[in-house]
Chain A
Amino acid sequence: MTTSMAVHEVRQAAAPAATGAVRRRRLPFSAWHLLLAPLSLGFALPLVWLLLSSVMSNAEINRFPPALWPHGIHLDGYRYVLGNAMFPRWFANSFIVAGTAVVSNLLLGALGGYAFARMRFAGSRLLLGLMLATMVIPFQLTMIPTFLVMKELGLIDTLGALIVPSLVTPFAVFLFRQFFLALPREIEEAAWIDGCSRLRVLFSIVMPLARPALATVAVLTFLATWNDLSWPLIAINHDTQYTLQLGLTTFQGLHHTKWSAVMAGNLITVLPVLLAFLLAQKTFIQSLTSSGLKG
């Protein structure tokens, strides 16, 4: 966890006077450490406990008062979760759903965004407005009829019911549109004159320039689909079609006393997001701030 969160450093470097350049120091280190170190550890503590309890033996975890530190690493919980339960299957399901959603949001979002940014066609403004308006519709208003639509399509209890509604979001279309609008037209115009099709221009010229937009859409789509519980809860009944979040929740209900297995399953559920976050922290933070501040 040594990767530094360097997002704001560039601009901060330009303004060193803003933070404590004139502060007198009596300690060999900044006094802020005394506040920030315990505070940040406090935030991390529940996750540390998640890791520790997942490697405890059943005897340790079911004792009162419970052990605070495992004596040696017991992988019983993991063995149970990976062997007896359906966690590998659920992991694959979550991966299929989130992966499809990411790829399809990048593709359909870019296509739609490009059309709205660069092409003129009747009704484009109205359509864009309608799409944007759908962003404010709360989920609970659409969940019952969406369930009925999926039932009509015969998708209930299949991964399809989870994939179809997340194929493309208005957010992805809009974000790509804004990004493409900010790109200079000249590069593309040269290619059109050379007779390239729109599709070819989009994929060979525009997309390679759109990396920040691609990263933002990928990160936010993955986070939203991987972490979702409410829609799988409604659309899926059979445990072979569960996602990890739904599987974990059900597993906890059924194995209330096997806490180390539950925590092992929990760790497996959060690990992909945590790893993705630690590896691509900068992208995560920028995506979230851009969606927050400007979206």
Chain B
Amino acid sequence: MSQLPRAVTLAPADHLKVTPPRASRRRARRESTTAWAFISPSVVVILGLSIVPVVWSLLLSFRADDLVTPGRWVGLDNYRALAQDPNFHTAVSNTLVYAALYVPLSLVGGLALALALNRRIKFIGLYRTLIFIPFVVSAAAQGVLFSFILDPEFGVANSLLHKLGISPQGFLSDPGQALFLLVIISLWSGVGFCVIVYLAALQDVPPELVESARLDGAGRWRVLRHITLPTLTPVTVFLVLWQLIAALQVFDLVYVTTKGGPLGSTTVIVYFVWEQAFQMFTAGYGASAAYVLALALLLAGAALHLHRRHQNRTEGAAR
């Protein structure tokens, strides 16, 4: 249980409770039956559709399998082939470029917007709403909308550029631009999450600290650097990993807008896995690619866990 971030605050205090001896032997057995009745649906669905597939996937990754005819065992061949597959290399590097842009930009943008929105002025509720609202729009809807806006012929983007005297762009059909545009579209919706998480965290910056720093003559920047930012560090670490995990798994937007093209310039890892398994019918190969990505995510998760533990320990010591 300690492998994961803990929600809310209370720790179970069961061991502190004194159970009356012998009186509850039978009650305990009945309780155990009730408990199993309560949890069994969750256990079947959750474990059945996670543990089983994880093992199955691993087995698949050692096989040549088209999901229709019986496959055969090929050992590590899939992984060897991955190491030499230029398309997989492209997918990995596209995913890394996407993540390397999306993660820092969404954090910096989210923090800047949260700082700007963290004040009590008229219409602030409206401003927050407008900036946050793209977050609830599905990736499919975003993709369809921006395919239209960025359509080279009929899109409004080129028509605006035309008014500014700039020549029409290929946008999503231009291999040099497509990936960057996908980052921008994702930022449009994804930055909202960082904004609300940072906004909530900003409320925990101790106001008396800010005030006393101001009285001591500290300017806005110094307050930001020495008081606000250090208070936000744990939230920042959480957001880095959260956004990184989201970025490494991007799929829907790519599927809707570019289908990995043009010329493979937006093929990301999950798209590669999906294409191998459900388009090319080389599921074993797809599964091995999925395992490579899962390993990367696992490392990110382990980093989060270690950091949290470290953080909890230091916090505990400080108290």
Chain A 1-54 interface residues, beta-carbon cutoff 8 Å to B: 1-9, 11-20, 22, 29-30, 32-33, 35-37, 39-41, 43-44, 46-47, 49-50, 53
Asked whether B41 lies within 8 Å of A229 as measured between CB atoms, the reply is no
User: What does the 1/0 interface line of B131-163 toward A look like (CB < 8 Å)?
Assistant: 111101111110111111101011110110011
* Residues 113-133 (chain A) with a chain B CB within 8 angstroms: 114-117, 119-122, 124-125, 127-133
- Check A226 for interface membership: any CB of B closer than 8 A: yes
Which parts of B88-144 form the interface with A (CB within 8 Å)?
A: 113, 116-134, 136-141, 143-144
- Residue in A9, A43, A146 whose beta carbon sits within 8 Å of that of B120 in the complex: A9
Q: A288 CA to B110 CA in the complex, in Å?
A: 15
Task: Give the CA-CA distance A284 to B144 in the complex, in Å.
Answer: 24
Are the C-beta atoms of A138 and B293 separated by less than 8 Å?
yes
Q: Are A137 and B7 in contact (CB under 8 A)?
A: no
Instruction: Give the tally of cross-chain contacts (CB within 8 A).
Output: 358
List residues of A (223-259) whose CB comes within 8 Å of B's CBs.
223, 226-230, 233-234, 245-246, 248-249, 252, 259
Q: Which of A13, A61, A165 has the most CB of B within 10 A?
A: A165
Chain A interface extent, by class: 35 or more
Which of B67, B124, B140, B200 lies in contact with A293, CB distance below 8 A? B200
Chain A facing B: main interface SS: helix
Q: A169-B46, A293-B197 are in contact. Are A138 and B117 (CB under 8 A)?
A: no
In this complex, which of A16, A22, A273 has the most chain B Cβ atoms within 10 angstroms of its Cβ? Answer: A273
B298 contacts across to A, CB distance below 8 A: 136
Mark out the residues of chain A between 143 and 182 whose CB falls within 8 Å of any chain B CB in the assembled complex: 143-149, 164-165, 167-170, 173-175, 178-179, 181-182
Given known contacts A132-B3, A146-B49, A292-B238, A46 and B134 CB-to-CB distance under 8 angstroms: yes
A18-B210, A174-B7, A269-B140 given as contacts; is B203 within 8 A of A11 (CB)? yes
Count residues of B near A (Cβ-Cβ below 8 Å).
117
In A265-285, which residues have CB < 8 Å from any B CB? 266, 269-270, 273-274, 277-278, 281, 284-285
Given A108-B41, A129-B1; A1-B138 close (CB under 8 Å) = no
B278 closest partner in A (C-beta): A234
Among A6, A108, A137, which residue has its beta carbon within 8 angstroms of that of B54?
A: A137
Residues of chain A with a CB closer than 8 A to B255's CB: 229-230, 233, 249
B contacts, CB < 8 Å to A: 1, 3-10, 12, 14, 28, 31-32, 34-36, 38-39, 41-43, 45-54, 56-57, 60, 67, 113, 116-134, 136-141, 143-149, 151, 153-156, 158-159, 162-163, 188, 193, 196-197, 199-201, 203, 205, 207, 210-211, 214, 235, 238-239, 242, 245, 249, 251-252, 255-256, 269-270, 273-274, 277-278, 283, 286-287, 290-291, 293-294, 297-298, 301
Given contact pairs A44-B130, A229-B138, a sample of 20 additional A-B residue pairs in the complex whose CB atoms are under 8 Å apart = A5-B128, A6-B125, A17-B211, A40-B128, A40-B131, A46-B188, A112-B42, A115-B39, A119-B32, A131-B47, A143-B290, A173-B39, A198-B38, A227-B136, A229-B140, A249-B255, A266-B144, A269-B138, A270-B137, A292-B239
Chain A interface (Cβ < 8 Å from any Cβ of B): 1-9, 11-20, 22, 29-30, 32-33, 35-37, 39-41, 43-44, 46-47, 49-50, 53, 61-62, 64-66, 68, 108-109, 111-112, 114-117, 119-122, 124-125, 127-149, 164-165, 167-170, 173-175, 178-179, 181-182, 198-199, 223, 226-230, 233-234, 245-246, 248-249, 252, 259, 262-263, 266, 269-270, 273-274, 277-278, 281, 284-285, 288-290, 292-295
